[in-house]
Homo-oligomer: A and B are copies of this chain.
Amino acid sequence: MDMSAAPRMPTETRSLGNAIGSELLLRRLRRLVSLNGAEINLVLSLNEGAKTHGPGSMICPKADGSPHPRLIASGWACRPRILPDGRRQMLNVLLPGDLIGDRGERRPLAMNPAVALTTVRSISASKLYDALLSKPDEYPQLCAALGRIDRMQESHLLDHIVRLGCQTALQRTAHCLLELHARLEAIGFTHDGTFPMPLTQETLGDLLGLSLVHVNRIMAQLKRDSLIRIRSGVAIVEDFTALALLADRVDPTSRGAPEH
């Protein structure tokens, strides 16, 4: 995870086993809707323009003009906002199976540069969006599912606001870890409470609006209280209900739509 030793990727690589990125997306989509054959084929046909991005490098540089849509095949990324005084605030975490870049709408979040946190492999998703934009009627369920993914992302953004606005460091951390767990579960990356957690405590701090040191204290507390522990890039949830209770702030009257 050293940025110096992995210099100036991105590097074009042949698409070897890179198709697993599209399978990831497919798995995620099929949890939301039932796709027809054409839709499945379209998703699975995504394997062009594979790139590898070293940690710290931009995945989706807006450069001049729209960054083409891409699918994260593996690795973690985020969308940072950097303040003049050097502080960072993460808007977002991007996981395998997430789609990034512009899809013709130039939405601000989509236009925000994405930065690789680990080594990230990505493939082009232009073909997908071109197909959907040109003949959406052939892919009804696919459109619906991608829309729902978009909505979930927006929902996470709102959650993020609530976290940062009025939760303590402990609550924030718990809530965020549960969100990551849920999102990773949707792509089959969890095994009864265990999930990959490559985020540095510093990065977690930038995400949660906390200092590195305080994140460490919170993690120590969570470990001490046997709620969750993270070691060598793997998180282990030890008390799910307690963690949810700590993080929870569900209020039925203030929730958005029940299903995304």
Q: Residues on A close to B: CB < 8 A?
A: 62, 80-85, 87-91, 105-109, 111-113, 147, 151, 154-155, 157-158, 160-162, 164-167, 208-209, 248-251, 253-254, 256-257, 260
Contact = CB atoms under 8 A, between A and B. Distances in A.
A172 to B, nearest CB: 10
B257 A111 contact: yes
Contact of A157 (B157, B165, B257): B157
Q: How many copies does the complex hold?
A: 2
A248 B84 contact: yes
Which 7 pairs, one residue from A and one from B, show the smallest C-beta to C-beta distance?
Answer: A165-B209, A164-B164, A89-B165, A108-B256, A83-B249, A108-B155, A82-B254
Given A91-B158, A157-B157, 16 more contacts: A81-B158, A82-B254, A83-B249, A84-B248, A84-B250, A88-B166, A89-B166, A90-B165, A105-B147, A106-B151, A109-B154, A109-B256, A113-B253, A160-B161, A164-B165, A166-B209
Contacts of A250: 84
A250 to B, nearest CB: 7
Contacts of A85: 249
Given A151-B108, A165-B209, A257-B108, A251 B158 contact: no
Mostly, the A contact residues are mixed
A89 B162 contact: yes
A132 B109 CA distance: 24
A106 B209 CA distance: 29
Contact of A83 (B81, B166, B257): B166
A107 to B, nearest CB: 6
9 contacts: A83-B166, A83-B167, A85-B249, A89-B165, A107-B151, A108-B154, A108-B260, A111-B257, A112-B254
A244 to B, nearest CB: 12
A136 to B, nearest CB: 13
A257 B101 CA distance: 12
A109 to B, nearest CB: 6
A107 B154 contact: yes
A249 B106 CA distance: 22
A161 B157 contact: yes
A157 B109 CA distance: 10
Nearest to A113: B254
